[in-house]
Each structure stands twice: as C-alpha cells, then as structure tokens.
Amino acid sequence: METVLRKKVTIVGSGNTGAATAQAMAARGHADVVLIDIVEGLPQGRALDIAQGSPWVPFSTTVRGTNDWADTAGSDVVVITSGVPRKPGMTREDLLGTNAGIVRSVVNNAVQHSPETTFVILANPMDAMCHVALDASGFESPRVVGQGGMLDTGRYRTFIAMETGASVKDVSAWVLGGHTEATMVPIVSNATVGGVPLTQLLPPDRVQAIVDRTKRGGAEIVELIKTGSSVAAPAAALVEMIDAILLDERRLIPCCAMLSGQYGVDGGYVGVPLVLGAGGIREIYEIPLAEQELEEIRAAGDAVKELAAATPQG
C-alpha cells in the first residue's frame, strides 16, 4: 500500500492560544500537529485532550505533544506563539527583551530540524519578533510572516458588523501597518459593507469610534479577562494563514511582511495586503489609500525599525 505523507505543523507554545490553534488545525483534518513546550507534561496533556475529541469532530490526523525538538522534524509550517503574554497595563513593547530571547531560541531549534519550513509569528511585539525570527533563521524574508494584520482585521470587521447591524460576511475591510495601538492603521478609505462604502453608512464620529475600538481591541480583552489575553480570534486567524501555506491557497490577506520600498517602507516588517501560499509570501500588493493612511503606514515602518534596532541581540 502506498504511504501517504501528510503535511506537518508545529505549534510552539502550549498555552491557551497554542492549544486553541492546535485544536482548530486538528479539526481541519489534513495535517498532523505537533505541540511543543519547555514545560514537561503541558504539551502532552494538551495534545491528549485534543486527540480524545477526534471521534466526535471527527479527524484522523495525529496530535502529538512533546518537549523534544526532534519530534518536530520535517515541519512544513512552524507557528511561534510562545512568549510572555500581556498583562493589564503592559504594552506589547514591554515584552521586547524577554520574548526576543525566547523567539531566537525557538527559531534556532526549529531550523535545525525543519530547514525548509515557513515561520508564522504571533509572539509579541509581533512586528519586532518577525525581525528577530528572520535574523535568527537566515531565511529569505518571504518565509517569515507575521500574523498581526489578520487578527486586527478580524476585530475591525467584527466591530463594523456590530455597528451597522450587517452580516460580518458582507464586511470588507483591512487593518494594515503595525500590530500596536499606536501603529495599526484601520483602513477607512476602502472599507465597505456589501459594496457600500462604510463612510456612506455611518457618520464620521461612529466610523472613528470603530477605528479607535479596533486599535484597542486586544487591550479591551485583556482588561476584561484580567488574567490573560485573547485566544479564540488569534487561533482562528492563525489557522487561515497555516492553511494558505499548507494548501498553497494563495490567499490575498493582510499579514506582516518585510517591505523593500512598498508603501515607502524599506527594511521593516509592516502589515500589508499580500498573497500567502506554499513557501510563504508570494506577492505583496500596493493598493490605493488615502494620503493620511499612507503616512500612518510609513510611520509604522519607522517605528518597527526603531524597535527592531533596540531589540537585544543574541
């Protein structure tokens, strides 16, 4: 009988977001999943819990928990969720030094066992951690992509649907720029609901309220939960990115990419519309934007380059 080799995804970090991502990926049923963590027993327990749901979901792929990088060998995608999460009052920048060391160590181990992999970065501050991962891996930049735009766009579209009373399925809107409250850019100029411009549906003050809430989308959840941060939305966004790479779906979605002059940014990881498929980023698109939006994206590029320059080197 011919052996069928399934795709393989490694999720680094077995906390709430890592486990939720592993569960969602397992439910898709087309890739084996490895959960890895430095805490003994945690990834094994998470994986066993997910596997025991397989008769009812159902899925026949494997979910494995491990503390040994050798078990991740041959991964097509490595997702980095590990790192210290935000607590109330903390900014993503506060996490810079600690998480840079974690990401650098993770990338070194992953590359050793999966030299052909593609990295998807979630660890905060995400834009700067993409720089760390790129440097540590030695990869070409298309193989290191950040998740920020996907999560923030999900929040933006949700808030637009809530405010207009429309189905979120009919909302088309993007968040570009950085993945911090100061640098993200919810795009108003091309946001539509069922093809109708958002600015035609809502007065300026309500549009601005949505933009402001989107920028604080993560902080709002941290303040409400108090002991953690968002889980379900990041996991949902990650799975869409993973599938785009594994299945070569060539999705045109907002993710964080290294720019080389696009939008006036050179040498910085910034959220932009891009095509994501096998091997990572296939193409980056420059779309028409309002001048103020372009200026804010350029400012996001300057900010992340400054943050990356301040990141402790390994």
Encoded amino acid at 102, one letter: I
Q: In what order do the strands lie in the sheet with 196-197?
A: 171-172, 192-193, 196-197
Degrees to nearest 5, angle at CA 236 with 173 and 187: 15
Which residues lie across from 10 on neighbouring strands?
34, 78
Distance CA 219, CA 230 (A): 9
215 CB contacts (<8 Å, ≥6 apart)?
Answer: 181, 184, 186
Report residue 293 as tokens: 């939006």
Residue 229: C-alpha distances to residues 6, 75, 130, 173, 306 (Å): 32, 28, 20, 24, 26
Distance CA 9, CA 21 (A): 11
| 30 among known catalytic residues | no
Strands 192-193 and 77-80: unpaired
Distance CA 144, CA 126 (A): 12
Question: What one-character-per-residue DSSP string does 170-182 give?
Answer: GEE--EEE-SSTT
- What radius of gyration, in Å, describes the C-alpha atoms of the chain? 19
Hey, which residues are catalytic here? 179
